[in-house]
Amino acid sequence: MTTKKYDLIIIGAGPIGLESALYAAECGLNFLILEREQPSASLNKWGFVRMFSSMAMNVSPLGARILNIDANGSYPTGREMKESYYDRLVALEQISSRLISGFNVKKVSRSGLLKAAHTGDNRRAEYPFKIFGTDANGWETYYEAKAVIDASGVYSNPNSLGPGGLPAIGEQTHADKISYHLRDLRRDYTRLGKTFCVVGAGHSACTMIAQFDQLTRIDNEVNVVWVTTTSHKPPAVSVPDDPLVERARVVNLANEISCGSNPRIKHLAGYWVEEIRDRSTGPLMELTLTGSDGDRGTFNADFIFALVGYRPDREIYEELQVHECFASSGPMKLAARLSEPSAGTDCLDPVEPDDDLYINPEPDFYILGSKSYGRMTNFLIRNGYDQIRSVFRRIVKDKNLDLYNRS
């Protein structure tokens, strides 16, 4: 079998993967994009939700120039963003001809070199990357590349529901009654049930609670229990004078509901879901909660929305020398910068551009996009543009390369 070889392989055709591909095409690189599903699949899954960031914040200067887009300050839904921008990127011949959809990357290693060899040594760069995976027909295949960008994201790898990030007892056996992602309740809530549990205090949970607020005013049989592990009320962190108006609207509404503005949505603060078991009558499940003070209680639900965040799939690069943060599981250099007090905690807080932030002990292997933030949740698509610019300066060995500011 002849293994195809490339200058660069990009794993994932989400927003950052596609932007990386566009940059690679403009640099004249021989590259390939490997996507497990379809391009921008994650964006489509929550496509009914209006984005917190505006169109102008999500369209790169390079993409706007090539597609002749006048990015404005409107706030599109995820589906509108996909159709108006990312689908158009995919349609470009320089990208579509380099894209393989339905390819599941299993592992990345060095051809003929084990993980422990040449520890922290640039001699590892003398051995090409070997990418192993399966195509849409299930056939196992190798690809080789001089450099690899892992932009596979975190959306397909949700955290567990139970105490301390462990699975709740019964969580895995009740997987068909749990969603770890946002769902459009207008379409399918009747087949899910009438009694719901939402777990989480982030923006996804707030968005789900906002949906339930509307639903309970239409259907008086719908009831919701909202569980958050932190004991403070209101549970969601709001940004003073938040410039992201849609985020402010959803967070403020959810916080009002947690304080009792909607009697059909009950907020329980300071609890973990410890166990899920079947019931013979009424709502399908009984949930056992454990409080931070040792208090225990139960309630019933037909369906659970476990919106408890996501984590990177690290198995892809476990045969490579990647230095990870012990807290976030993100690459260490960037994680250290993000943990500095000056870095802030909001997605709008800028990360000072630094071409060295994206270097791993593994030469020419780069983790970009939301996966580069590990378990942290404050990645913004526009943050990825600095990442892409920095990484391609290294790949093409031109420290002044900047396709975003080219007139």
Could you tell me the pTM of the whole model?
0.94
**4-156+310-395 CATH fold:** FAD/NAD(P)-binding domain (3.50.50)
User: Running along the chain, 407 residues long, what does each successive block of 10 average in pLDDT?
Assistant: 86 98 98 97 92 92 94 90 96 98 97 94 95 96 97 96 95 96 87 95 95 94 95 88 90 95 96 92 88 89 96 96 95 92 74 86 97 93 93 96 83
Number of alpha carbons in the 13 Å side-chain half-sphere of residue 297: 13
Q: Which amino acid is at 286?
A: E
Residues 177 and 171: their CA atoms lie apart, in Å, by 9
| Exposure of 182 in the CB half-sphere (CA atoms within 13 A) | 25
Tokens at residue 211, please? 């949906």
Instruction: Give CATH superfamily name and number for 163-306.
Output: FAD/NAD(P)-binding domain (3.50.50.60)
pLDDT at 406: 64
**Tally of CB atoms within 10 A around 287:** 25
Q: Where exactly does CATH 3.50.50.60 map onto the chain?
A: 4-156+310-395, 163-306
